DNA sequence: GCCCATAATTGTCCTAGACAAATATTGACA
DNA sequence: TGTCAATATTTGTCTAGGACAATTATGGGC
């Protein structure tokens, strides 16, 4: 019943869908329109993708998430794709501490990485640690991955290390208290939670109470949870890979379900959030905007 | 471009796929074969699902994951479905502390729940806490959800509370050391991480070192990571919802990629792991089996 | 009782076409 | 030259119906 798997020979279209996030329909239509990917066929007439094609698809997807047009990038050679990665000379502009941290990831030195992060956190304090260390490191890891300098598992290792650190920091907050009460989650299909964790830290620093629902809560459930938890704000996080119109549509729908007294904040590096205003939804472009959001919420509240 | 969203009116087939985990193809073929679901159509001829249908689909999916046959359960009424939920009188058999903990979830008292879990952990110690509190609570939450007594967001709240507690416990381990070195992760598409966290705790108690890769690592990357981290064991976790044949196929493929010196352990409540032996993969039926696995690994290692 | 051959069930893949939303391009006008 | 509206292209996702292999159930013989 379908479900071939990644043997050494090749991957089924389902597997490629899961690993790249590109729908089966999209894979098939790209093949027809742009001549890529070019899977083989098994004895059964079903598509079989090679590992190299999947790697290329992942790279293409990142370029598209960044704003490239499919017709321009699907079907390019690997070299041409790597050229478009950009971020050429500016890597030298990064502080040496960050470059060194990256080197620790590259050498799979988890312990060393964790030590360095711990020490940065202690030295800088949480807020500056988030803004000056974690945020730029995230970017650098993403860029390095695009340039083919990082394996997927190395990215996992990095993400997991940072998350563990932030989580244990957040856990040290005994109980949620303060205001506003912010319900934090992501929509179904959005699995990136690092941004949400960073937001949770920032909110906590600035005296807000966070109720973390974990990732992937359907909109209807978010509305019920906001009611049950008497939340003042619903905070949602969107990675660049999250489909733009789904994000906007769901935000609009959720806005209609929530009482007007509950604010909505949408953050993350997804461009859809900042292209056009969504009525009743506050876009939070970066971590540094969180304190402002909190402050203006309090001003509004005390004004009423 | 497609991607309608959950307004009050209805959900698109993509959204239903994301929220239920049932593929679009499956939804369409069920509609044709069993007469359910019965979505409406928008002005565009595209399927529009009601919230009630999605709830029913979620319930059906859980019954099927448990072993029911689709032809027998798809198309039953909501009442008939609830009858098959089973777990009738045995809920009285649960210890009263657990029932009380559930009540805290039901009243959305996150703080109370967290307090109670903390105190159970201190009182019982980590190992008994996992086996006598967390594991049965997981089951009870799942059952209660099937009986319609829990909302999705209440399950999220519960899961998040337990995860936060276990994570902060794990984080208190300064650095990974000990043997065997176990690389822990899940395969792409498997998002349930609670089981993995519980395993991490058990392994730590019994002197193993865990390297957590986070969820959803492709098989090839697991192999590279195992090499880079000099792992002795690769540990994978499978929830009941994970497709059976995908699990088996990928385990076989991964086994072929890994050197024979690296053991593979597969755990979780997915029935596929225990139906038939997979060569070179040790099935770990429950938490209590982890100490045995560790002990026998050590015996083997010292023997050689 | 168990075991094997046959029958039914079931999920996923295939092709090919259609269309609306998003994005780019053109042209008119200040 | 710059801005805005109208048109053209691009793009992802949906539709339909058919096919098939893997899984699970059923019957018959021992």
Q: What is the pLDDT of residues B189-215, one digit of tens each?
A: 888 999 999 999 999 999 999 999 999
Q: Which parts of chain A sit beneath pLDDT 70?
A: 1-9, 86-92, 174-176, 303-304
Angle at B153 between CA B148 and CA B156, to 5 degrees: 110
Helix (H, G, I), strand (E, B) or coil at A7: coil
Buried b (16+ CB within 10 A) or exposed e, A92-130: eeeeeebeebbebbeebebeebbebbeebbeeeebbebb
The closest of A208, A177, A222, A181 to A290, measured between CA atoms, is: A208
Question: Could you tell me the end-to-end alpha-carbon distance of chain B, in angstroms, rounded to an integer?
Answer: 61
The span from the CA of A121 to the CA of B167, in Å, is 19
The span from the CA of A20 to the CA of B239, in Å, is 22
- 8-state DSSP, A129: I
Q: Region B16-37: what's the mean pLDDT?
A: 94
Question: Could you tell me the end-to-end alpha-carbon distance of chain A, in angstroms, rounded to an integer?
Answer: 61
Query: Does the pLDDT at position B4 exceed 50?
Result: no
Q: Region B65-86: what's the mean pLDDT?
A: 87
List chain A domain ranges. 13-83, 89-171, 181-303
Task: Please list every residue in chain B whose beta carbon sits closer than 8 Å to the beta carbon of residue A16.
Answer: none
> What is the C-alpha radius of gyration for chain B, rounded to an integer number of angstroms?
21
Per the omega criterion (within 30 degrees of 0), is the bond before B37 cis?
yes
Pick B181-303's CATH classification: 3.90.420.10, 3.40.50.280, 3.40.50.970, 3.40.109.10: 3.40.50.280
Structure tokens at B231: 């792992």
pLDDT at B3: 35
Instruction: Report if CB A182 to strand C is under 7 Å.
Output: no
Query: Is residue B163 within 8 angstroms of chain A, CB to CB?
Result: yes
Pick A89-171's CATH classification: 3.30.230.10, 1.10.1240.10, 1.10.1660.10, 3.40.50.80: 1.10.1240.10
Structure tokens at B271: 């029935």
Task: Please list every residue in chain A whose beta carbon sits closer than 8 Å to the beta carbon of residue B15.
Answer: 188
Query: Does the pLDDT at position B171 exceed 60?
Result: yes
Q: Among A110-119, B88-97, B157-166, B272-281, whose mean pLDDT is lowest?
A: B88-97
Q: How many C-beta neighbours within 10 Å does residue B46 have?
A: 13
- 8-state DSSP, B131: I
**What are the tens digits of pLDDT across the range B133-163?**
999 999 999 888 888 889 889 999 999 999 9
Q: In CATH terms, is domain B13-83 a member of 1.20.1740.10?
A: no
- In this structure, chain B runs to a length of 304
Question: Nearest-CA residue to the C1' of D10?
Answer: A71
Q: Is-contact A206 A291, C-beta < 8 A?
A: yes
pLDDT at A3: 35
B160 → closest Cβ in A108, A212, A243: A212
The span from the CA of A284 to the CA of A293, in Å, is 8
The closest of B15, B17, B18, B22 to B64, measured between CA atoms, is: B22
Name the nucleotide with the smallest C1'–CA separation from B68. Answer: D24
The span from the CA of B214 to the CA of B229, in Å, is 15
The label of the residue with tokens 């086994």 reads B255
């Amino acid at each position: 019943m379908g479900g071939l798997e990644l043997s050494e020979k090749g991957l089924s279209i389902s597997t490629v869908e899961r690993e790249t996030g590109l729908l089966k329909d999209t894979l098939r239509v790209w093949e027809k329109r742009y001549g890529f990917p070019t899977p083989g066929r098994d004895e059964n007439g079903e598509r079989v993708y090679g590992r190299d094609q999947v790697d290329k698809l992942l790279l293409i997807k990142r370029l598209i998430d960044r704003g490239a047009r499919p017709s321009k990038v699907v079907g390019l050679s690997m070299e041409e794709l790597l050229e478009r990665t950009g971020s050429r000379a500016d890597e030298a502009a990064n502080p040496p501490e960050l470059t060194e941290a990256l080197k620790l990831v590259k050498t799979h030195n988890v312990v060393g990485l964790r030590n360095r992060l711990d020490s940065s956190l202690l030295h800088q304090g949480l807020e500056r640690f988030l803004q000056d260390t974690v945020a730029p490191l995230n970017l650098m890891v993403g860029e390095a991955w695009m340039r083919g300098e990082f394996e997927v598992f190395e990215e996992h290792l990095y993400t997991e290390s940072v998350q563990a650190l932030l989580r244990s920091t957040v856990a040290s907050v005994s109980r949620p208290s303060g205001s506003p009460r912010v319900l934090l989650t992501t929509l179904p299909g959005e699995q990136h939670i690092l941004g949400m964790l960073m937001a949770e830290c920032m909110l906590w620093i600035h005296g807000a109470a966070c109720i973390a629902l974990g990732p992937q809560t359907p909109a209807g459930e978010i509305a019920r949870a906001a009611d049950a938890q008497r939340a003042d704000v619903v905070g949602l996080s969107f990675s660049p890979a999250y489909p733009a119109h789904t994000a906007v549509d769901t935000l609009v729908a959720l806005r209609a379900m929530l009482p007007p007294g509950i604010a909505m904040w949408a953050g993350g590096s997804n461009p859809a959030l900042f292209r056009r205003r969504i009525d009743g939804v506050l876009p939070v472009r970066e971590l540094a905007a969180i304190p402002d959001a909190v402050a203006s919420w309090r001003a509004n509240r005390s004004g009423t």
